[in-house]
């Protein structure tokens, strides 16, 4: 149970980081397209 909770928490952190990272990528590509 405890290990399952940790793995779910880890997956949430990973998804959150991917979301932030992809937003940064999108912002960078938009800025690059504007320039």
pLDDT at 23 (0 to 100): 87
Quickly list DSSP for the chain: -HHHHHHHHHHHHHHHHHHHHHHHHHHHHHHHHH-
pLDDT at 35 (0 to 100): 52
| Per-residue pLDDT tens over the stretch 1-35 | 678 787 878 878 888 888 888 888 888 777 776 65
Note the pTM of the prediction, 2 decimals: 0.52
């Amino acid at each position: 149970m405890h290990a399952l909770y940790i793995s779910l928490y880890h997956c949430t952190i990973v998804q959150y980081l991917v979301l932030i990272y992809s937003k940064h990528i999108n912002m960078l590509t938009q800025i690059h397209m504007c320039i």
